[in-house]
Structure 1
Amino acid sequence: MLPAAPGLRWVAADLHAHTLHSDGALTIDELAALAVSAGLDALAVTDHNTVSHHAHLAEAGRRYGVALVPGQEVTTDLGHANAFGDIGWVDFREPATAWVRTVAERGGLLSVNHPLAADCAWRHPLVERPPLAEVWHSTWHAPEWGGPVAWWQAWGDAVPVGGSDLHRVGQGVELGSPTTWVAVDEAASTPDELVTAVLDGLAAGRTAVSRDRSAPVLLPVDGELVAVGAAGALVLGDGRRRPVRSDLDTLAPGGGVLGGHDGSVLSLASGR
């Protein structure tokens, strides 16, 4: 069990996946079953420019025992953003600034998606930035590529999340790779309760991202950082490189990036 603050526990989530409701190849039930087989506790279903899948998520989640978080990937040729929460349809034809305002007013959460992903890179001007950023996406194939981390650090105070962006099986994208860890109320146990708890955890900024569910991870816990399974790695930030000396090492805050000596990125942690 991962170390967490009192009253909280960490759950494994993938915050980006698609079904037949847009351009995915799987039904909601097939995606839910795949999430369970991948060891995930929660999965955001984020079909493109539609919320037609929302009405079916809760029942499928109960059937398979996984929290299916309602989402919509607001999709344009200048960039994509995930709107999380059962908040109704967000009009992709409006300026991106309107997405930020609309999602916030309806009580949802907006994330800039895969900001450095070739023709899907983020190019919308924004007056106000959304609270989340999909820093880690399945297009991040080379762990030594520092572009996503540099973008995140320059972007500001965005809570880091990650998502596989799975559309179909067999295309080299695995559900849960990357894994977004969310610290949720430990009392949340049913899929319905866990959907609410995951959204609350995201809103509070209680996140970490790792390459997959079994990879080393850097967790924010009670104002400190805890590196798990990362002996010999480095925590980077504030111009410092601090060594991780054991597989369960608590460090003072001061950096949200867990990296290898070869420059590879192993995990990201929220600074909140």
Structure 2
Amino acid sequence: MKQWLPYELHTHTFHSDGQHSLLELARSAKELGLFGIAMTDHNTMSPLLEREQIQSETQLQIIRGMEWTTFFGHMLAIGITAYVDWRDLGIQDIHKGIERVHRQGGIVGIAHPYRVGSPLCTGCYWEYEIADWDDIDYIEVWSYTFPSIMNSNQRAFQLWTDRLNKGHRIAAVCGRDWHVSSVKVTEPIAVTYLGLDNNRDSALDPTEVEKLAVNAIREGSVSVTMGPRLQCTLQIDPSESVHGIGSVVKVNETVNTAVVKVEIDFSERAEHWQLDDQELKVRLVSNKGTVGELKVSQQASTASCGVDIEGVIWLRAELHGAFHNSITMIAFTNPFYFQHDN
């Protein structure tokens, strides 16, 4: 059974260019109703020397990591136990660095790939040559506050979609790129919900939780939102098991339909976002485009429909509606993947 928990996966302290300590960041994250953060200072892991003490004091889970900040792009490396050097990597050498992260059991993600680069933000725009996209564990498709309306994020979201269409199984997350905790933010803040596998009745220690969180991203057990949490399940046959977000669904040649169920949780972190009472749309999107549309609201938060899955290799859910004076995407899930037996 999965436990869905809210994370912020891109943060900084004054050990690089942030304006707060790790303790101040952790306290602010708890105030926002977060379960955990990834500590991703630029090119250093030094703030993590205080990790155990701060986790104990704040009860906030802290994933170890860093952000490679280079002339050719910024890459997040999380779930690592020690500093991973990047300084010998040229524009064609990113896979050497990725292998070093994977060797530690960590994962890598492309940060804000289409943010404006030099001279405004040196290296922020992604230029590394990727020879094998299967090496990339995730893409930060939403960055900053109110991320859905930013052109750079829309391009990143399309990059992710294009990679899915090519058959790659890459997770998508949001990352606030959090530098200042003392300033009250009025724009919406997106969070990444991770589905952690926890079959134990007793509490897990922080190291085990870190591994579960990293594995959730690796497996695409991820739902991203600026407001209510979007949950989605899929079932091929009523007599068979229900598949969750990120699952690989095996389909034989005689099957061409599936039942998709969506559920909107309006209660989680409800004090940290505002959404007018309205009828919302959930689009079921795949490599074949939109294959279904459902209507949900606070009064009817669950809906389901049959979907034609012939030729579908992936499928995700997207929540759309009026949010902060804009008609926009409010939330999205990572995909289900289909493995068709021919």
Question: One fold, TM greater than 0.5?
Answer: yes
Verify: 1:247 aligned to 2:301, yes or no: yes
Verify: 1:234 aligned to 2:282, yes or no: yes
Work out which of the residue numbers 133, 138, 141 in structure 2 matches 1:132. 138
Matches within 5 A, 1:1-272: 7-93=1-87, 94=89, 95-119=93-117, 120-129=124-133, 130-138=136-144, 141=147, 143=149, 145=151, 146-156=154-164, 157-169=169-181, 177-186=189-198, 187=200, 188-211=203-226, 215-221=227-233, 222-223=243-244, 224=260, 226-228=262-264, 229=266, 231-238=279-286, 239-240=289-290, 241-245=292-296, 246-250=300-304, 254-260=315-321, 264-272=328-336
TM-score, normalised relative to structure 2: 0.69
Q: Distance in 1 between matches of 2:228 and 2:329?
A: 10
> Per-residue deviation at 1:92?
2.4
Q: Secondary structure at the match of 1:48?
A: coil
* Structure 1, gaps ≥5 residues long: 1-6
Once the two structures are superposed, residues 85-133 of structure 1 have per-residue CA deviations (whole angstroms, 9 ceiling, x without a partner) of 1332222222322122111122101011111211112111111231111
* Runs of 4+, deviation exceeding 6 Å: none
> In 2, are the aligned partners of 1:117 and 1:139 still within 8 Å (CA)?
no
> In 2, are the aligned partners of 1:42 and 1:195 still within 8 Å (CA)?
no
The structure with the largest alpha-carbon Rg is 2
**Bigger shift: residues 256-265 or 239-248:** 256-265
More strand by share: 2
> In 2, are the aligned partners of 1:66 and 1:191 still within 8 Å (CA)?
no
Once the two structures are superposed, residues 196-247 of structure 1 have per-residue CA deviations (whole angstroms, 9 ceiling, x without a partner) of 3212222222101112xxx133334424552414842131413225122332
Larger RCO (alpha carbons 8 Å, 6+ apart):
1
Per the alignment, do residues 151 and 259 of structure 1 end up closer, same or farther by CA in structure 2, a change over 3 Å counting? Answer: farther
* Structure 2, gaps ≥5 residues long: 118-123, 234-242, 245-259, 267-277, 308-314, 337-342
**Bigger shift: residues 122-131 or 192-201:** 192-201
Q: Which residue of 2 aligns with 1:4?
A: none
Structure 2 letter corresponding to 1:153: T
Structure 1 letter corresponding to 2:302: L
> In 2, are the aligned partners of 1:217 and 1:267 still within 8 Å (CA)?
yes
Q: Distance in 1 between matches of 2:303 and 2:63?
A: 32
Q: How many residues matched?
A: 263
> In 2, are the aligned partners of 1:164 and 1:175 still within 8 Å (CA)?
no
Aligned-residue identity in percent: 25
Structure 1 letter corresponding to 2:195: A
> In 2, are the aligned partners of 1:217 and 1:258 still within 8 Å (CA)?
no
Structure 1 letter corresponding to 2:30: V
Q: Distance in 1 between matches of 2:59 and 2:187?
A: 16
> Per-residue deviation at 1:189?
4.7
Structure 2 letter corresponding to 1:201: A
> Per-residue deviation at 1:269?
1.0
Q: Secondary structure at the match of 1:180?
A: strand
Per the alignment, do residues 141 and 208 of structure 1 end up closer, same or farther by CA in structure 2, a change over 3 Å counting? Answer: closer
Q: Distance in 2 between matches of 1:171 and 1:49?
A: 25
**Bigger shift: residues 123-132 or 237-246:** 237-246
Q: Distance in 2 between matches of 1:250 and 1:32?
A: 38
> Per-residue deviation at 1:69?
0.6
> RMSD of the TM alignment (CA)?
2.7
Q: Distance in 1 between matches of 2:161 and 2:320?
A: 15
Q: Distance in 2 between matches of 1:174 and 1:162?
A: 18
Structure 2 letter corresponding to 1:158: I
